[in-house]
């Protein structure tokens, strides 16, 4: 029997320190495979342990099949957990390890048939009478999974079960786990920091940051429609290019996005997504471009919706089937906390009054409310007042990072380091985030009204 798991505003705090998990809400359907994804320390394992009953819930409620479960012990929840470090008894044979939970449930019953069936399912029949220390890492993880499967639990809880294995074995076991959970049809909650695992395994991916749930969506949607800069940066290899920019929207003339030393002119007539960018006139934004949204080609080869840029080759990574070209376009990358070190605060003076086209009181209140929920998603340099009002480039801007754009190319393209190359940007795959890191282009699913 599989079961539904619901978490309603669940929080976990240790003493007086900050919360490890803050108001986490998630509904998991029976038989669904949900992956909790995020960097180390984001609270994903704590959520898993609260579902298992290994951690008490500070606030909120956990429901199993619609019934409150906060008071239930781990044994009463009928779930099986697979740990990162295998957690096998070293003095027991693998047969005894798989059958141990069955022996606890019913000591007098013969469990040989169920153990044999489980081992056959995992392909470890030949090692049942060995000790865990005599097995490879992959075989030990299969034994650990066999111990969980033999119980026939209502849910599998997996805490980074493949992180201690080498890359080739991880890929092999990942496919096995996917096939196995489909055959068993058991609700599965899987914790990982590896976005490749999350995208290939989960029916839905729940991205966490700082104990706060950022987005829950199917893998394709998490990649194609990230709700904020953090999700966009965490999902995808190589990481999405995030560039600081300012919208330039004159009353007469073509609208463009100022990247610093170059501009992206928006095609006319403007698409619905790009029309809403007009209200961002003079405001700091973040432009997101995945590596497949930019190609190296001259303007004469531009397709509809593509605009020209140029870049200087800083470095080329040969990957075998492709090459990653690191370019300097004269732009400034945006910094994403929790994924990289933030830039030091230079003590820039804070403006109390709104300049023309600047951020108003309502926007500041919205940003403050967003900060209470999950903290700043992106860190931007403070632009000069001239740049904020007109979008013009300022000579006082800080030095440009050497490489600010990564582009995919074929493995046969020959490029010279230091050479300038023409680029074409597909604006259909352009992401724009506001200065708080929230996605504003493509349009969010729920566009708030003025009353909100």
Q: Please give the average per-residue pLDDT across 192-196, as a whole number.
A: 92
Residue 447 lies in a domain: no
353 and 316 co-located in one domain: yes
Residue 449 lies in a domain: no
pLDDT-derived band of residue 42, with 50, 70 and 90 as boundaries?
very high
Question: Between 445 and 240, where is the model more confident?
Answer: 240
Identify the CATH number of the domain in which residue 12 sits: 3.40.50.300
215 and 239 co-located in one domain: no
285 and 433 co-located in one domain: yes
Q: Please give the average per-residue pLDDT across 15-43, as a whole number.
A: 92
Residue 446 lies in a domain: no
Chain centroid to CA 84: 20
For all residues of the chain together, what is the average pLDDT?
83
Question: Between 153 and 18, where is the model more confident?
Answer: 153
282 and 195 co-located in one domain: no
User: In this structure, what token pair is assigned to residue 377?
Assistant: 């998603």
Distance CA 126, CA 269 (A): 68
pLDDT at site 308:
94
327 and 430 co-located in one domain: yes
445: closest CA among 221, 203, 205? Answer: 221
> CB under 8 Å to 54, separation ≥6 — which residues?
74, 81
* Coil/strand/helix, residue 127: helix
Distance CA 225, CA 223 (A): 6
pLDDT-derived band of residue 354, with 50, 70 and 90 as boundaries?
very low
With a pLDDT cut of 70, the percent of the chain lying above it is: 84
Residue 425 lies in a domain: yes
Distance CA 15, CA 37 (A): 25
Is the pLDDT assigned to residue 230 strictly greater than 90?
yes
Domain boundary among 199, 219, 239: 219
Domain boundary among 165, 198, 219: 219
Residue 448 lies in a domain: no
248 and 298 co-located in one domain: yes
254 and 153 co-located in one domain: no
pLDDT at site 445:
65
CB atoms within 10 A of CB 139: 20
pLDDT-derived band of residue 446, with 50, 70 and 90 as boundaries?
low
What are 132-145's pLDDT values in tens digits? 999 988 888 889 88
Phi, psi (degrees; rounded to nearest 5) at 197: -65, -45
88: closest CA among 132, 152, 148? Answer: 132
What are 301-343's pLDDT values in tens digits? 999 989 999 999 999 999 899 999 999 999 999 988 767 543 3
Phi, psi (degrees; rounded to nearest 5) at 173: -70, -30
- Is the backbone of residue 9 left (phi > 0), alpha (psi -120 to 50) or beta? left
Question: Between 417 and 387, where is the model more confident?
Answer: 417
What are 68-101's pLDDT values in tens digits? 999 999 989 989 988 888 788 899 999 999 999 8
Is the pLDDT assigned to residue 9 strictly greater than 90?
yes
252 and 392 co-located in one domain: yes
Domain boundary among 166, 200, 219: 219
251 and 336 co-located in one domain: yes
Q: Please give the average per-residue pLDDT across 390-399, as a whole number.
A: 42
pLDDT at site 376:
59
pLDDT-derived band of residue 394, with 50, 70 and 90 as boundaries?
very low
338 and 206 co-located in one domain: no
Is the pLDDT assigned to residue 383 strictly greater than 70?
no
Residue 54 lies in a domain: yes
- DSSP lists the bridge partners of residue 433 as 286, 439
Residue 415 lies in a domain: yes
Distance CA 100, CA 92 (A): 9
Number of domains in the chain: 2
213 and 233 co-located in one domain: no
Is the pLDDT assigned to residue 117 strictly greater than 80?
yes
pLDDT-derived band of residue 1, with 50, 70 and 90 as boundaries?
low
Segments forming the whole domain that contains residue 357: 229-441
234 and 257 co-located in one domain: yes
CB 178 within 8 A of CB 198: no
Burial of 292 (0-12, 13-18, 19+ CB in 10 A): exposed
Residue 451 lies in a domain: no
What are 257-293's pLDDT values in tens digits? 999 999 999 888 888 878 888 888 888 999 999 999 9
């Amino acid at each position: 029997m599989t079961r539904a798991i619901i978490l309603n505003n669940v929080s976990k705090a240790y003493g007086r320190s900050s919360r490890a998990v803050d108001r986490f809400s998630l509904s998991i359907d029976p038989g669904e495979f949900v992956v909790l994804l995020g960097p180390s320390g984001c609270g994903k394992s704590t959520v898993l342990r609260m579902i298992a009953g290994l951690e008490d819930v500070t606030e909120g409620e956990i429901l199993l099949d619609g019934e409150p479960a906060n008071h239930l012990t781990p044994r009463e929840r009928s779930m099986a957990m697979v740990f990162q470090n295998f957690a096998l008894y070293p003095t027991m044979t693998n047969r005894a390890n798989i059958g141990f939970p069955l022996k606890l449930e019913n000591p007098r019953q013969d469990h040989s048939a169920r153990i044999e069936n489980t081992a056959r399912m995992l392909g470890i029949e030949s090692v049942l009478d060995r000790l865990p220390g005599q097995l490879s890492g992959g075989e030990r993880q299969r034994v650990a999974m066999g111990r969980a499967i033999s119980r026939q639990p209502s849910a599998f809880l997996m805490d980074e079960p493949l992180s201690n294995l080498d890359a080739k074995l991880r890929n092999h076991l990942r496919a096995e786990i996917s096939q196995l959970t489909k055959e068993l049809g058991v609700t599965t909650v899987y914790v990982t920091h590896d976005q490749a695992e999350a995208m290939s395994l989960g029916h839905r991916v729940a991205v966490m940051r700082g104990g706060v749930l950022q987005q829950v969506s199917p893998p394709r949607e998490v990649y194609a429609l990230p709700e904020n800069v953090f999700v966009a940066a965490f999902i995808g290899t190589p990481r999405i290019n995030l560039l600081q920019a300012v919208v330039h929207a004159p009353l007469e003339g073509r609208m463009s996005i100022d990247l610093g030393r170059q501009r992206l002119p928006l095609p006319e007539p403007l698409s619905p997504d790009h029309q809403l960018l007009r209200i961002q006139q003079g405001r700091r934004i973040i432009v997101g471009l995945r590596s497949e949204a930019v190609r190296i080609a001259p303007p004469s080869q531009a397709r509809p919706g593509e605009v020209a840029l140029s870049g200087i080759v800083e470095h080329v990574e040969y990957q075998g089937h492709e090459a990653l070209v690191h370019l300097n376009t004269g732009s400034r990358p945006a910094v994403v906390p929790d994924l990289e070190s933030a830039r030091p605060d230079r003590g820039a003076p804070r403006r109390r009054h709104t300049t023309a086209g600047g951020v108003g009181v309502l926007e500041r209140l919205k940003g403050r409310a967003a900060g209470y929920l999950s903290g700043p998603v992106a860190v931007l340099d403070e632009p000069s007042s001239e740049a904020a009002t007109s979008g013009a480039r300022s000579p006082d801007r800080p030095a440009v990072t050497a490489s600010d754009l990564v582009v995919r190319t074929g493995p046969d393209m020959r490029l010279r380091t230091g050479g300038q190359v023409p680029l074409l940007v597909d604006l259909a795959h352009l992401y724009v985030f506001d200065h708080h890191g929230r996605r504003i282009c493509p349009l969010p699913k729920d566009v708030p009204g003025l009353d909100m």
